[in-house]
Chain A
Amino acid sequence: MDSPVSICATGCVCAAGSDTESCFETMLNGHILPSFHGTVLYNQKMHSPVFSVNENWISSVECSPSYTKTARLLFKATQEALTQLGLSSDILNTLNIGTCIGSSTGASLNFKSFYQEWREGKDTDLKEIDSYLCSNPAAALADYFSLSGPVQTVTNACSSGTDALGIGASWIRQGLCDLVIAGGADELSEISYTGFSRLMITSHEPCQPFDKNRKGLNLGEGAAVLILIGEKALQKLNVTPFGKILGYGTYSDAHHLTAPHPDGQGLKKAIHHALLRSDITADNIGFINAHGTGTENNDRIEGAVINDIFTDTPFTGIKGFTGHTLGAAGAIEAVMTVMSLCKSQLMPTEGFTEADPDIIICPVQNKTKIDARYALSESLAFGGNNSAIVFERGVA
């Protein structure tokens, strides 16, 4: 069993809002549409709108050295969480604080214009390389906030955010840190946009998770973090946790590099381990925050796994509000799961209107009052990686 790890603050920024509360409010009561964002290369055959973050929301983040947008999104989310925690920098400096951040494009050598000029024999300005080198998400976060604990950038594609939370919780349990800033961050990238388009899994319309007429995913960008705290620091700082991470499970499919196992074997094992390590059963789970990308494969298999393991457990997918934020997705979904537990409200699955007979079960369609003690968030990724994590409502 994984001993519970307390959550004492959250931060979130994505297309749905500039902080945790505004994202949650948008998801409960608002609507948001993806748009055709200027920095992404479009042409007629690859025409898929994206969920971008308003540049003004992160304009207050210092840009020197020249951090990537991924890093600036992460700093913004972390600043929110640290403000919520309310500790002075003097106190923070006495603590051993680790950074465990999931990312996909944030750690990739995606500097196309630099590369193109290098191919042409030009000695291009090294600014883009410097920016890449100083912006590795976990390392940049540690550097930006002068933190001295362990540093880990998890690059497990779309499950990175969930995995970073699972690993960060282990650090607390093993006594490696007093606090861990764990989460995920990813900016929109022309390269990943082209890649997903060429795999033909993007939709030219707003995505429709679990819907019969779903056509694919929309990419998005954002960052989210949870501040995890150990027992000693909890008592020392007199902080009241508002949620807990319980069990975490991760398993590969060993089936295909870009398609999930047809029986969802890896996902089932990840969920099984997360529940077992939480010392609870599937019946105890009050709701599920699903991966729900809106692609044919993901939603069919994920739906079948949920139907197999759980009985009438409500589930929702939030990518109709955020887009698929890749390495940040698991972290954003985790923050929203904790918010739903705390506020006893579950958001509708934006984009879902018509049940798919192949999936059998339907996600939540309207804002729903819930009374849940435990919730599960799950992520599926390229490479056949599957991860699941259980949260418990706190006392606050």
Chain B
Amino acid sequence: MRLAITGVGLAAAGIDLEQLKKNVVNRTIIQSLPEKTETAELNNYFSPRKLRRVDHFTRMTMLAACRAMQDHADISQDDFKTQLPIPDDMGIIIGSGYGPSETVFDFLDSIIEHGAECASPLSFSHSVHNIPAATISLFLNYQCPCTTICQTYAPLTTALNNAACWITEGRSKNILLGLVDEKTPLLEHNTKRMLDKKASNTDIPLGEGACFFMLSDASESESAKYGSLEFKTIRQNDLADMCKDSAIFAPKRTIARLKKINVSAEASLSADMPTAAAIELAAAVLYNHENRPSVCIEQAGKKFTHICFHNNRR
């Protein structure tokens, strides 16, 4: 399936799109930073007063989404009074490995500390998986089709499938598609314990971030800023042939598995998160934008999703 890419937006700890581009071109890997993703720039898009109850997961989501919309429109955002341009007939699709983890734990904290009858209803309502997508729709004051996906199994592939179906069926002309995950102390601790249990010597730090793409019908590839992507889920035996002569970007966790089947891939970000493939997709898009052939790979069970690009400038 093929989709035009008209915008990219990123919000992750210590990385912005410019830095990712620089590192991707130089083929240097970015180390995931231990701190949380900085989201203060969100105040350039919405009033701080309006944002005061928005949790970190949703803030990351909104910031990356706004940046993708801004990239699509190719304009600068001076302050929150400037109207963010919304593409015609836009839908929102968000994928996550675990959903808004911290707000779930906030709600559990409130039950444990204050008892069930004094637990925070606000934490509960914000812990529901589709709240980030709904918050984007609400803050943009834009009624549209929205859907949220939660799974560790190939979340990028799944979201792309959903986007392609919606665009083909004319449900939306443009899809604001994002993948998001956040780290919490519990998730960090659990990940370490589970790796220890498996006696795995993998030492990839848990990462967090949100990465968004503005996608439209492949027929618009000619005018699309980043050309188009084409994705297909294939058996591992077919992968090596399809990746010839391209730089291969894949999540850090998948690199060793790919090596076993003679596919030499690199990660742009050294971070372990279920939605890491989205950041690698952004890296591959930026690399391709520099007229250098690239592909992105996401593991889908025993298969792999191969994402390649058709650059309108070549």
Q: Which residues of A contact B (CB under 8 A)?
A: 2, 41, 43, 45-46, 104, 107-110, 112, 115-116, 118-119, 123, 126, 129, 133, 136, 138-139, 142, 148, 150-157, 163, 167, 170-171, 173-174, 176, 191, 194-200, 250-258, 265-266, 269, 273, 381-385
Contact = CB atoms under 8 A, between A and B. Distances in A.
Residue in A46, A196, A198, A384 with the greatest tally of chain B CB atoms within 10 Å: A198
Given A151-B158, A194-B111, A257-B126, A126 B137 contact: no
B128 A136 contact: no
What are the 8 A-B residue pairs with the smallest beta carbon separation, nearest first? A383-B134, A195-B124, A155-B129, A170-B165, A198-B121, A107-B150, A252-B137, A155-B150
B121 A116 contact: no
B188 to A, nearest CB: 11
B165 A155 contact: no
Given A157-B130, A176-B161, A254 B151 contact: no
Interface string B126-154: 11111101110110111111111111111
Interface string B180-200: 000000100110011001000
B164 A198 contact: no
B117 A151 contact: no
Interface string B81-114: 0000000000010000011010011011101100
A118 B186 contact: yes
Contact of B143 (A151, A199, A266): A266
A196 B124 CA distance: 8
B128 A174 contact: no
13 contacts: A115-B105, A115-B108, A148-B301, A150-B158, A150-B161, A151-B154, A153-B150, A155-B150, A156-B146, A171-B161, A176-B165, A195-B125, A252-B133
A108 B99 contact: yes
Nearest to B185: A118
Contacts of B157: 150
Contacts of A138: 151, 153
Given A107-B99, A152-B151, 12 more contacts: A108-B99, A133-B152, A142-B301, A153-B150, A170-B166, A173-B165, A251-B144, A254-B141, A256-B138, A257-B131, A381-B130, A382-B128
Find the residue from B138, B140, B194 having the highest chain A CB count within 10 A: B138
B31 interface: no
B130 A174 contact: no
A257 B146 CA distance: 13
A195 B107 contact: yes
Contacts of A195: 107, 119, 121, 124-125, 127
Interface string B153-171: 1100110011011101101
Nearest to B139: A254
B105 to A, nearest CB: 6
A179 to B, nearest CB: 16
B116 interface: yes
B178 to A, nearest CB: 14
Contacts of B165: 167, 170-171, 173-174, 176
Nearest to A45: B117
Contacts, number: 194
Interface of B: 1, 92, 98-99, 101, 104-105, 107-109, 111-112, 115-117, 119-121, 124-131, 133-135, 137-138, 140-154, 157-158, 161-162, 164-166, 168-169, 171, 186, 189-190, 193-194, 197, 233, 301
Contacts of A119: 109, 112
Nearest to B124: A195
* A118, A151, A163, A252: most-surrounded residue (chain B CB, <10 A): A252
Contacts of B158: 150-152
Given A167-B165, A198-B124, A155 B149 contact: yes
A174 B164 contact: yes
Contact of B138 (A174, A191, A254): A254
A142 B130 CA distance: 23
Contacts of B142: 254
Given A155-B149, A167-B165, A384-B134, A254 B140 contact: yes
Contacts of A43: 115-117
B101 A254 contact: no
Nearest to A253: B143
B283 to A, nearest CB: 25
Given A118-B189, A152-B158, A254-B137, A126 B197 contact: yes
A153 B97 CA distance: 10
Contacts of A112: 108, 111-112
B128 A383 contact: yes
Contacts of A116: 108, 112
A170 B112 CA distance: 43
Contacts of A254: 137-138, 140-144
A193 to B, nearest CB: 8
Contact of B125 (A126, A170, A199, A266): A199
Contacts of B112: 112, 115-116, 119
A181 B144 CA distance: 26
A198 B138 contact: no
Contacts of B189: 118
A154 B149 contact: yes
Contacts of A110: 104, 108
Residue picked from B116, B117, B161, B190, most chain A C-beta under 10 Å: B116
A142 B154 CA distance: 13
B161 A156 contact: no
B137 A151 contact: no
A105 B99 CA distance: 11
B128 A252 contact: no
Given A108-B127, A171-B165, A250 B99 contact: no
Contact of B130 (A133, A253, A266, A382): A382
A257 B138 contact: yes
Given A155-B129, A197-B116, A252 B143 contact: yes
A160 B125 CA distance: 16
A26 B164 CA distance: 41
A153 B149 contact: yes
A4 to B, nearest CB: 13
A147 B116 CA distance: 40
